[in-house]
Structure 1
Amino acid sequence: MPDYGHDLVLGTFVTPEAGVAEEVVGLAGLTEEVGLDMVTVQDHPYNAAFLDTYTLLTWIAARTSRLRVSANVTSLPLRPPAVLARVAASLDILSGGRFEMGLGAGVPIPAARMTGRRLSAGESIDALEEAIDILRGVWDVDADGPLRHQGEHYEIPQMKRGPRPAHDIAISLGAYKPRMLRLTGRKADGWLPTLDYIKEPGIAESNRLIDDAATEAGRDPRQIRRHLNLFNIGFSPVGKAFLQGPPEQWVDDLLSLVLEHGFSGFYIGGDDPDMIRTFGEEVAPALRAEVARERGTT
């Protein structure tokens, strides 16, 4: 299933450097100004040089009018899911439905240094799966009775559900290994890897693992959006390598990822205002037009 048919979501991946906070917020404003859809922010609460990601996302949402915001991806071990659910719902309400959830199992050693609790890789994935259920349980205000959860990693004896988000918040997972990919297929709304980190399994096999797990869980694999973070990229007059060349080469390179591998969300890193402007003003409209032409929706 090469193209899953989702509308394109194009945006940026910014670094929340506390020392240049206004520049960081400015990059988000530029993302909106040039017509892109979303700004995403890496979440490393153990990095003392970084702004808190959720505080920054709230600030950005307040300073913009249509830009969607997301952590890329939330460090679950340092964000208790019951509280995270209310943070996310609050941000979604305040922004008029512009928040999406990127979620990851976390980096074990730095998280353990802040919490004193270190999980194995397998335990981290189990905790992530529990967290997805808790997040959705808190947001499901129409369910009968309070939310109760008795798991290996989280225990919620009884809590009131809510508040209801302004829209159905999508949960996308930063996944690379088979077990995480299968969890993505079973329970997530999206897959959110970084291209440089997809090694083994590769893109095609990763998509197959997600699709098979979705099918086994009774889901349509087309429900799951495929996002991609892009680094080591740049514009130049002549092509040098993948996503290193003129805007028209970028259009061709990204189009191949859409049609051959089903990606529909692209977030560029590098914190370069000129690259963001070119991506938004030259690449994005041309790419949208090419995708529409290939799909026959022009």
Structure 2
Amino acid sequence: MTAGSPVRFGLNVHPGVADLDAALKLAQLAETHEIDLLTIQDHPYIADFFDTWALLAFLAARTTRVRLGTNVSPVPLRPPAMLAKLAASLDLMSGGRIELGIGAGAFLQGILAMGGWTPEEPAERVRMFEEAITLIRALWESDRPVTWAGRYVQVRGLRFGPRPEHRPRIWVGATRPRMLRLVGRLADGLLVSNTYVPEHQLEQVHAAVDAGAAEAGRPPGAIRRGYNLMGVVKLAGPDPVTAEIRPGAPVLSAEEWAAELVRLYRERRIDTMIFWPLGRRPLDQAAVFAAEVVPAARAALASG
């Protein structure tokens, strides 16, 4: 768990074009309950998805409290200088509520189909990503024109603005050792998903992040540990479970989910948990998560 940082709970917003009304209802649900964070996956090459940054702006304009972020934006399709501009602009517009989640781009076919490019060699992809995250920070922090001449990322005398009033937290989606060490060295938070990184692998994931933090002289607690919890909340009435539920996705009652969140925080060093409802009735599941699961988990954690 992160020293001095309370546990945070979030909900995933599906960016489907057919789901705009549901996205707005989810944001309103988060506003009125104890939800800290709304995140949206960023896959611009999927035809029936809205652009994630446009949807973030739409939801930011209709909320006042909950934080919003990408989970995660692919650097090969979102040039780092533009990501820095997007995040800073929306952070100012929203009153300092934006979190920037970025990744090296896992879906190469979609990236290439949309005109993006990334090195084939994994080590070079990590190098490109490191240049990107370093440039984003430099642009946010510099009050002078910035010139950056990396192997893969360049800006020349860029007068950057606007600068964010409160620098957004940078999260990184990563699963492999090189990227995990980079998270420890440079990022504010890690994002992994339970259907890709099962619980028994979290210890080695944390160890790689901690090693990177040690290389940079940072305490391990400086990096938040986020877990995308894809699963199902059992509901009264029609069963929300379908045959398409992903392997490794838990199907639990509200009471069982609350206990699971507490256990992940206490035993697995997870301090940020984002629920992705699967199956049928996702909005109903999110409502139970916000109104029942999260308050019960907070109460249990507060009681020690």
Fold match, TM over 0.5?
Answer: yes
Aligned residues: 289
8 Å CA contact retained: 1:235, 1:243: no
- Are the aligned partners of 1:225 and 1:264 in contact in 2 as well (CA < 8 Å)? yes
User: Contact conserved, 2:230 with 2:277, CA < 8 A, in 1?
Assistant: yes
**SS in structure 2 at match of 1:233:** strand
Match of 1:140 in 2: 141
Q: Does 1:112 align with 2:112?
A: yes
* 1:128-164 Cα deviation digits (max 9, x unpaired): 111111111111134xx32111111111121113322
CA contact (8 A) 2:2 2:224 kept: no
Contact 1:140 1:162 in 2 (8 A): no
SS of 2:117's partner is coil
Give per-residue Cα distances to partners, 1:21-70, cap 9 Å, x unaligned. 22222222222223311111010011111000000000100011111100
**Alignment partner of 1:16 is 2:1:** no
Report the RMSD for the aligned CA atoms in angstroms: 2.1
Shift of 1:3: 6.3
Q: How has the CA–CA distance of structure 1 residues 211 and 71 changed in structure 2, closer, same or farther, with 3 Å as cutoff? A: same
Structure 1 segment 119-268 matched on structure 2, within 5 A: 119-120=119-120, 121-142=122-143, 145-198=144-197, 202-235=201-234, 243-268=250-275
1:189, 1:225 within 8 Å by CA — same for their partners in 2?
A: yes
Which residue matches 2:302?
292
User: Which amino acid letter does the alignment assign opposite residue 31 of structure 1?
Assistant: A
Partner AA of 2:290 in structure 1: G
Q: Structure 2 CA distance, aligned partners of 1:207 and 1:263?
A: 10
Q: Does 1:281 align with 2:291?
A: yes
- How far 1:207 moved relative to its partner? 0.3
Give the whole-Å Cα distance in 1 for the aligned partners of 2:199 and 2:25.
36
Residue pair 1:31, 1:276 contacting (<8 A) in 2 also? no
Q: Does the aligned pair in 2 maintain the 1:44–1:50 contact within 8 Å?
A: yes
Per-residue Cα deviation, 1:153-177 (whole angstroms, up to 9, x for no partner): 1111211133221212110111111
Distance 2:5 2:234 in 1: 26
8 A Cα contact 1:34 1:277, kept in partner? no
**In 2 relative to 1, CA 112–267 (structure 1 residues): closer, same or farther, beyond 3 Å?**
same
Structure 2 unaligned regions, length at least 5: 242-247
1:103 paired residue number: 102
Relative to structure 1, the CA distance from residue 31 to residue 220 in structure 2 (aligned partners, 3 Å threshold; closer, same or farther) is same
Tell me by how many angstroms 1:119 deviates. 2.1
What stretches of structure 1 move > 4 A for 4+ residues in a row?
2-5, 240-243
Could you tell me how far 1:116 is from its partner in structure 2? 5.4
* Structure 2 counterpart of 1:28: 27
The answer for unaligned runs of 5 or more in structure 1 is none
Residues 242 and 26 of structure 1: CA distance in aligned 2, closer, same or farther (over 3 Å): closer
Conserved? CA contact 1:38–1:69, under 8 Å:
yes
Q: 1:146 is matched by which residue type in structure 2?
A: P
Residue type at the aligned position of 1:109: Q
CA distance in 2, matches of 1:56, 1:79: 16
Provide the rounded CA distance (Å) in 2 between the counterparts of 1:196 and 1:41: 17
Structure 1 residue 200, shift from structure 2 partner: 10
TM-score normalised by length of structure 2: 0.89
CA distance in 1, matches of 2:44, 2:157: 28
> Contact (CA 8 Å) 1:9, 1:38: kept in 2 or not?
yes
